[in-house]
Amino acid sequence: MVGPSGTGKSHRAAVVANQFEAQAIIDDGLLIQENCIIAGSSAKRLPTRIGAIKAALFMEETRAQEIKEALHKLAPARILILGTSAGMVKRIASRLELPPPQKIMNIEEFASEKEIRKAKFHRNHFSKHVIPAPTLEVKKSFPGILVDPLHIFLKKKESPGKKNWLEQSIIRPTFTSNGKLTISDNAISAIAGHAARSVEGVASTGRIVVDVEHEGIITIDISPTINYGLPLHEVAGKIQCQIEQSVEKMTGLQVRKVNVLVKYINFPVAKEATS
């Protein structure tokens, strides 16, 4: 499927793949199957547009080899390749040692002029890019970048019990000119502290330390005080879950682990006996 950048190809990829029974999608350096990223690294991660184009074309042999090996294992009967032109799609197929495309489809076959205009507006004004994979999958490849979910609906299937929708993701790539997003450790600590205090049985959060392991991947240490009489391991587990969910949702960062060290117990104050 071909069309100029920003016309909505990725947004419609899952629907088109479903319509033509394609078992895999190749889009911007990624190999996607059944709503999962199987192999590759998204071109949208690259800091420059030139680098993104090279990644989308699998110019680096290591990138191309990874996809070729994954395709060999999957052995899909049909593949949907996305590109800005027929020449680009043919070049991708050649780089991945695939047969020449049997059918070239234009984005205009699947989107109206109004829909294409709207897609271009969102791309040009808000730098919104779609990746045809769920947010949990995309966050692994885009630590530190805000990822929003987008649900698309497919044609109703005859098989009962199967969902007729898929989740996709909206991101703002690093090569856009909208500036850099930075979240301080103090802001992350504040979010983690608020999340911990929402857990029943937490008297105080104590010291919170944020450690940035890699770009967009963090570890959080917390030393809370827990009220007496509660199962400490259960409260600690709830603190871990609450902090992980809150921080990832609000910052887009990937929390690798939350270490909870219960240092103190909060005992109830005994009431003085009255004579």
Angle at 106 between CA 94 and CA 176, to 5 degrees: 80
CB atoms within 10 A of CB 178: 9
Residue 113 CA: distances (Å) to CA of 91, 104, 108, 110, 132:
27, 19, 7, 10, 22
Residue with tokens 């005859």: 158
Residue type, 171: I
In this structure, are residues 2 and 13 in contact, taking their beta carbons and an 8 Å threshold? no
Contacts of 244 (CB under 8 A, 6+ apart): 255, 258
Our separate counts of H helices and E strands in the chain read 8, 13
Residue boundaries of the structural domains of the chain: 9-171, 185-266
In this structure, are residues 77 and 23 in contact, taking their beta carbons and an 8 Å threshold? yes
What is the per-residue pLDDT for 120? Answer: 85
Q: Give domain 185-266's CATH superfamily.
A: Cation efflux protein, cytoplasmic domain (3.30.70.1350)
pTM for the structure as a whole: 0.56
In this structure, are residues 248 and 254 in contact, taking their beta carbons and an 8 Å threshold? yes
First to last CA, the chain: 87
pLDDT tens digit sequence for 48-83: 677 778 888 998 899 899 999 999 999 999 999 999
Q: Using pLDDT thresholds of 50, 70 and 90, give the confidence band for residue 159.
A: very low
Contacts of 86 (CB under 8 A, 6+ apart): 2, 101, 104
Count how many Cα atoms sit within 13 Å of the Cα of residue 89 in the half-sphere of its side chain: 23
Range with lowest mean pLDDT among 28-32, 38-42, 135-139, 198-202: 135-139
E strand intervals along the chain = 24-27, 30-33, 36-40, 79-81, 129-131, 148-153, 165-171, 202-204, 208-214, 217-222, 225-227, 254-260, 264-266
Range with lowest mean pLDDT among 110-114, 123-127, 145-149, 175-179: 175-179
In this structure, are residues 255 and 247 in contact, taking their beta carbons and an 8 Å threshold? yes
